[in-house]
Structure 1
Amino acid sequence: MQVIVRRWFLVAVVIVGLSLGACSPSKVTSQNTTDSSTAATTGTSVAQVTNPQISSLPQLEGKATVVLTVKDSPITIEVDGTNAPITAGNFVDLVERGFYDGLVFHRVVREPQPFVVQGGDPQGKDPNVPVERLGTGSFTDPKTGQPRYIPLEIKPKDAEAPIYSKTLEQAGISAPPQLQHTRGAVAMARSSMPDSASSQFYIALSDLPFLDGSYAVFGYVKNGMDVVDTIQVGDRIESAEVTQGLENLKRPESEAEASP
């Protein structure tokens, strides 16, 4: 009975801890669902999927290394654009913009067992916004003045391309994802809408297989999990830097011109 109670508690935590509060994108659509499902089964690359929602987003073609500095200590993340090109590209793009510098971890869940640390809400830079009110913010594109959202992107194991805008269950796929929620996995938080992730991310503190196929993992902590294990609510990302693989980041021409 204790195991059952714990499992239901963790499911509730997923809804509260990984969701973006009341934040919901007003302009995100799932128009790319059919195209992306076809891509996964036929081997069409993400660059060949012609939906504007995808083509207007940065992509990472390959891998990159990002180092977060927290408590004066490095956390090294290998970002996987091979298996999650849009999700990884979004993260690397935001790191390169300096977006994460100074942001706080606003959710940390370790009881009844290690779960996640979550950050990336831009409201965290405002000292007048208390930590307990964070969790609804998104990245605002300086060119458009609008929030930038990315589609849910999950690549089934051994598939040639990801599924977009659907969980694997919704897509009727029983295979596990290529990138799974093992300890140290880095993934995007989102609301109940599949295509609502923007800037908030979380790091898994333990293996969380029940999240597989529902949330988009895009990398793994390679060094510094001992630092992650000490993170508390309110701790800040002192800096975030792309140390390798920046040449793999491909921005749309308009984005490249707008970025610093």
Structure 2
Amino acid sequence: MADDLNTLVLSLDSGGDVVIRLRPDLAPGHVARIKELAQEGFYDGVTFHRVIDGFMAQGGDPTGTGAGGSDKPDLKAEFSREPHARGTASMARTSDPDSANSQFFICFDDCGFLDGQYTVWGNVIEGMEHVDALPKGEPPRAPGKILKASLRA
């Protein structure tokens, strides 16, 4: 059953799989959206369009520009006290706290200045070296890509 699937696997073209433990205890609405989009194949082929060394890698925009998202309604913020440490997966948004949709980012380093302002929905538990290997840039000259996003128990 889909509700038992609390691990997201991002197969990247930068060398392997990134395994993210989903955190429905922190952000049930955002985790449900990530699962829904992954199951629909939304993230397959999507690039990391903004990758800043020492900060984060951002993806989830099907246009690759940073301005796109899914056709689903934006999500209400689910801020928590969970820190934005290395490997934290969190939702990207505009200046409106309730504007997260499909874009997300993974922190390369501790990003405590983001705490309480962005919705944390998961933590990388394997494969952070593949996130580290993503081409850097805003946008990168040859952006790294999610080959397949899938769920597992």
With normalisation by structure 1, the TM-score equals 0.54
Deviation at 1:80, TM superposition (A): 0.6
Corresponding residue of 2:52: 109
Change (3 A) 1:74 1:90: same
Corresponding residue of 1:137: 68
Whole-angstrom CA distance in 2 between matches of 1:87 and 1:180 = 17
Find the partner of 2:62 among 122, 129, 136.
Answer: 122
Corresponding residue of 1:192: 95
Whole-angstrom CA distance in 2 between matches of 1:222 and 1:138 = 26
**Unaligned residue ranges in structure 1 (runs of 5+):** 1-59, 125-133, 142-147, 156-176, 245-260
With normalisation by structure 2, the TM-score equals 0.90
The answer on whether the counterparts of 1:61 and 1:85 sit within 8 Å (CA) in structure 2 is no
Counterpart amino acid of 2:75?
A: I
- Report the structure, 1 or 2, having the larger strand content: 2
Whole-angstrom CA distance in 2 between matches of 1:152 and 1:138 = 16
- Report the structure, 1 or 2, having the larger helix content: 1
Deviation at 1:99, TM superposition (A): 0.3
The answer on whether the counterparts of 1:64 and 1:80 sit within 8 Å (CA) in structure 2 is yes
**Unaligned residue ranges in structure 2 (runs of 5+):** none
Whole-angstrom CA distance in 1 between matches of 2:29 and 2:5 = 12
Counterpart amino acid of 2:148?
A: S
**Identical amino acids, percent of aligned pairs:** 39
Counterpart amino acid of 1:115?
A: F
Change (3 A) 1:92 1:83: same
The answer on whether the counterparts of 1:84 and 1:218 sit within 8 Å (CA) in structure 2 is yes
Corresponding residue of 2:115: 212
Change (3 A) 1:236 1:214: same
1:1-260 alignment to 2 at 5 Å?
64-71=6-13, 72-110=15-53, 114-124=54-64, 134-141=65-72, 148-155=73-80, 177=81, 179-232=82-135, 233=140, 234-244=143-153
Q: Count residues with an aligned counterpart.
A: 145
In the TM superposition, what whole-angstrom CA distance separates every residue of 1:155-186 from its partner, at most 9, and x where no partner exists?
Answer: 3xxxxxxxxxxxxxxxxxxxxx0x22010000
Whole-angstrom CA distance in 2 between matches of 1:154 and 1:101 = 27
Larger Rg: 1
Aligned partner of residue 6 in structure 2, secondary structure: strand
